[in-house]
Every structure is written in structure tokens, then in C-alpha cells.
Amino acid sequence: MTRADITRVLAIGTLAGVAGGLAEVAWISLYAAATGLDAASVARGVTDTLRLSTQTPVAAGIAIHMGIAAALGLAVTAALKPLRAHLGAVAFHGTVIAVLAAAWAINFLFVLPVVNPAFVAIVPFAVSFTSKLMFGVAAAGCLAIGDAAGILIPAARA
């Protein structure tokens, strides 16, 4: 890959992660509005998980969440780029969503119960899992833009 290719993958991967992170924030906000949950408790939970002491735990939690989302989008994009040339668009995007579902499982079934069990209980598993699936759908949509621009696969093959 050339430096320009790497730059384009970095850009679309980061965009995919930010879109996924925003989709999660929107989903949790919608769930909170429908159920009376304090959505800020989720953001505070992110800050608590990292054991950060700050006067603005909600803002810090959202910033941390978005940073992790951008990094996750970038990692997924870079890791799956070699597969893109071998999978059709639907299979590729399904793979993106499946990878995000696996990330949720690792995080919510193994890591968070040890690091911050209270965070796991803020919303039901189905809600947090749906949140990660929404991340995958949003990220896959951004990667479709990358396909159209010839970033992940050459434009002639898209």
C-alpha cells in the first residue's frame, strides 16, 4: 500500500468509527428517553471504568467513547481491508457487523464484568448489543462510501 492508500484507509476507518460511535450514542439516548434511564449514567460509567477522576465525567465519558469508537473503526477497517476484494458488498458489511458483535461479546461478557461490573448492568444486554450492531451498520455504511471512492477496493471492482 502506498502512503496515499494508508492515508485514505486511516480517514475512512476513523470516519467509520466516529459514525459507529455516534450511532451508539443515538441508540442509547433513544433507549433512555423511552425508558426514563439517565443517559448520562452510561457516559459516567465509561469514565468510571477507566477510573478517571474529573469534574466533567459525562463529557469525559463521551470523549473517551468517541476516541475508542474511532480507534475501533480504524482497526476493523484496516483488519478487514484484505477481505474486501474477495467478498461482495453484502458479505463484507455483514462481516463488519459480525466483528463488532464479537467485540461486544468480548467486552461485555469477559472484560467489563471484571473491570467494572456496574457498567454492564446500566442497560440490558440486548440494548447494549443492539448498540454495537448499530455501530456496525453505521461503520459499514461509511465503508460503502470508501468502496464508492475506491478506498477499500479499486473503483473498477466496486
pLDDT in tens, 61-107: 999 999 999 999 999 998 998 888 888 889 999 999 999 999 999 99
pLDDT in tens, 23-65: 999 999 999 999 999 999 999 999 999 999 999 999 999 999 9
Q: Are 139 and 19 in contact (CB under 8 A)?
A: yes
Query: Rounded distance, CA 50 to CA 17, Å?
Result: 20
Query: Rounded distance, CA 24 to CA 138, Å?
Result: 9
Cβ-based burial of 35 (10 A; exposed 0-12, middle 13-18, buried ≥19): exposed
Q: pLDDT band at 19, cuts 50/70/90?
A: very high
Q: Are 115 and 95 in contact (CB under 8 A)?
A: no
Whole-prediction pTM: 0.91
The set of residues, in sequence order, having a beta carbon less than 8 Å from that of 23 and lying 6+ positions away, is 131, 134, 135, 137, 138
For the chain, domain boundaries: 3-148
pLDDT in tens, 3-15: 887 888 899 999 9
Closest CA to 151 of 17, 23, 12, 1: 12
